[in-house]
Amino acid sequence: MLNRLKRLLSATPALLLAPEPVPRVPAPVEAEQIDIGLVDIHLSGWLQNETGELVRGFAIGPEDSVLDIGCGEGGYALFSARQGAEMILADVDAEKLETARQRLQAETARSVQTLVTDANPIPLPDARVSKVVAMEVLEHVDDPAQFMAELVRVAKPGAQFLLSVPDEVIEGVQQHIAPSVYFEKPNHIRIFKRGELKQLAVEAGLVVEHSMQYGFYHSVWWSLYWACENQPLTPPWHPLLENWSETWSKLLSLPAGPRIKAALDAVMPKSQVVVARKP
């Protein structure tokens, strides 16, 4: 049971989503037609196929070298690979890295390299990459400032950074309902208060370009997940989770849906996001 929980808690939200590109017209659809979680994050600005933006303001092209640190089994790295970029995948888990490598090899990445590393240090030369992706990883590390310093070191002048961590509100909910291992190493060992991620980026010498919060749908999904005994992170989903997805899909199909989604994303998001640049 303990090992199963550790596997679940190390999964990123991307692993809950279909890895295929989002439809060109992101109109709300019924949950059974497409993963509503994928539709939801697209509406929040993620996976913009037309512009090559992993999230709005963070475009990736074939000229980029992307370091995706803490990438797990690939997740969002699939989108970056499809833009034709050079991909450098880094994680502490060699098995997950190999899975990610195999997934990305089938895409149109310029090249795919893997690094088994805890980022202390990152085995790359100075000024090596033009994009750095560190999503849902800083909450796992012992020394975020040291971790950020290494990311800045390997980034070229002008390189962009995409950083995300779980939001403090949903983490507060998880403290009451998730198994105790959720907040034990190698899982979440720190909760970032609002504004702390942005401050961490500034203290590392980066210029913050914009920040956002998103993911109320996934906050509720994960909260309900713990009630579903023996539910893996693959379908078929428990009826409780299916019902929540159907409810959210119906909300998004209403005229007021996007406005309500935006309000809920602001109040109880799944994640905080910062896009920054190295001067």
| pLDDT tens digits along 2-14 | 344 444 444 443 3
C-alpha distances (whole Å) from 134 to each of 160, 256, 260 are: 11, 33, 29
Using DSSP's 3-state secondary structure scheme, residue 54 falls into: strand
Q: What's domain 2-277's architecture?
A: 3-Layer(aba) Sandwich (3.40)
Q: What is the share, in percent, of the chain residues with pLDDT greater than 70? A: 88
CA dist., res. 223 & res. 219, Å (int): 6
CA dist., res. 189 & res. 182, Å (int): 9
- Secondary element (H or E) of residue 59: strand 58-59
CB atoms under 10 Å from CB of 205, counted, come to 12
Surface-to-core class of residue 91, CB atoms within 10 Å of its CB (0-12 exposed, 13-18 middle, 19+ buried)? buried
Using DSSP's 3-state secondary structure scheme, residue 98 falls into: helix
- Secondary element (H or E) of residue 101: helix 94-105
Per-residue pLDDT at 268 = 97
Instruction: Give tens-digit pLDDT for 191-244.
Output: 999 999 999 999 999 999 999 999 999 999 999 999 998 999 889 999 999 999
**pTM listed for this prediction:** 0.90
Crossing angle for the helix pair 144-154 and 196-203, nearest 10 degrees?
50
Q: Encoding tokens for residue 206?
A: 């980066």
Per-residue pLDDT at 2 = 37
Q: Which among 202, 211, 186 is positioned nearest to 265, based on CA atoms?
A: 211
Residue showing tokens 């409810």: 247
CA dist., res. 180 & res. 85, Å (int): 39
Residue showing tokens 């059974």: 32
Residue showing tokens 């702390």: 196
CA dist., res. 180 & res. 191, Å (int): 15
Residues 6+ apart with CB under 8 A from 173: 219, 223, 268
| Rounded mean pLDDT, 105-134 | 96
Per-residue pLDDT at 233 = 87
Instruction: Give tens-digit pLDDT for 91-109.
Output: 999 999 999 999 999 899 9
Question: Which of 30-34, 123-127, 165-169, 239-243 is predicted least confidently?
Answer: 30-34
Residue 25 or residue 248, greater confidence: 248
Please report, to the nearest 10 degrees, the dihedral formed by the alpha carbons of residues 231, 270, 17, 114 taken in order: -100
Per-residue pLDDT at 10 = 45
Give residue limits of the domains in the chain.
Answer: 2-277
Crossing angle for the helix pair 36-43 and 239-252, nearest 10 degrees?
40
CA dist., res. 148 & res. 67, Å (int): 13
CA dist., res. 215 & res. 153, Å (int): 31
